[in-house]
Every structure is written in structure tokens, then in C-alpha cells.
Amino acid sequence: MKIRAHSPGRYPILILELPSGELRAAYHEAGYDLERTKPVGESWLYENAIGRHSFVEVKPPRELPAGELVDYVRRELLAPGGE
């Protein structure tokens, strides 16, 4: 899957692109469990998340297996000097 964007802060929300092309919002409180994600659209990503809520677009999108989402957040987003 690809990480397309994330929210700033201590409990980042990730916007993921699944292999099917579908975009989903994955939440810290749900442990980034793909079964507990919310579908979102491409327009919502740019108009709402990035446009209104200061999400950071990941360019190019970061590809990784679903099982590595929690580690990615800890290592790349929450560690000092991360994205």
C-alpha cells in the first residue's frame, strides 16, 4: 500500500492508497487496522485534508506493507527529526 498523506501531531491520521486504488483514512486510535479505516475520495484528500486540515502530502507516496504502519509512524512521524 502507499501512504499518500498524514496529519500533523501526536496521533497522526494516515491517508492510504490500497492496491485496489481505493483511498482510506487510518487512525492511531484504531492501531492503523485496515479493517477500521474510513473510505475517502481523491477530492476530499486535496480539498479537505490537505487544503483545510494541514495534512502533509507524501511525495512520492511511501510504499510499505500494512504490518509496518505502526512502526512507520513511530520511526518517521513521531521520532525527533522525522518527516
> Can you give the pLDDT at residue 80?
79
User: pLDDT tens across 11-64, in order?
Assistant: 999 999 999 999 999 999 999 999 999 999 999 999 999 988 999 999 999 999
Q: Give φ, ψ of 39 to 5 degrees.
A: -70, 140
Per-residue confidence (pLDDT) for residue 82, from 0 to 100: 65
pTM, 2 dp: 0.91
Q: What does the alpha-carbon distance between residue 63 and residue 80 come to, in Å, rounded to a whole number?
A: 22
pLDDT of residue 58: 96
